């Protein structure tokens, strides 16, 4: 396993980077890691879900009041 240690500007170790292949192996070996990732790593926070729900509600109420990505980028570049 090739780990990379992350240090702050004082040289204190503040974290560890684990390559994804090694992470997958660890999750297979220690099932609690898999459960921890599901509970904490992949779920959106409730405030994020609330924002998404509000935006989806607005979209469903006003489906014609949207602009696609390419148009939005073009408008930004034009300064609109």
What are 14-45's pLDDT values in tens digits? 999 999 999 889 888 888 887 777 777 666 77
Does residue 51 share a domain with residue 26? Answer: no
Does residue 52 share a domain with residue 70? Answer: yes
Does residue 56 share a domain with residue 37? Answer: no
Does residue 50 share a domain with residue 37? Answer: no
Does residue 32 share a domain with residue 54? Answer: no
Indicate the number of domains in the chain.
2
Does residue 33 share a domain with residue 15? Answer: yes
Does residue 68 share a domain with residue 55? Answer: yes
pLDDT at 69 over 70: yes
Task: Give the global pTM.
Answer: 0.41
**What whole-number percentage of the chain has pLDDT above 70?**
92
**Alpha carbon distances (Å) from 26 to 10, 18, 22, 36, 44:** 30, 10, 6, 12, 24
- Structural domain boundaries enclosing 28: 4-41
């Amino acid at each position: 396993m090739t780990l990379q240690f992350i240090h702050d500007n004082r040289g204190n170790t503040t974290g560890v980077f684990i390559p994804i292949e090694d992470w997958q192996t660890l999750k297979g070996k220690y099932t609690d890691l898999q459960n921890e990732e599901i509970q904490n790593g992949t779920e959106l926070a409730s405030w994020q879900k609330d924002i998404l729900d509000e935006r989806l509600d607005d979209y469903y109420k006003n489906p014609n009041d949207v602009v696609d990505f390419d148009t939005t980028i073009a408008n930004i570049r034009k300064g609109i």
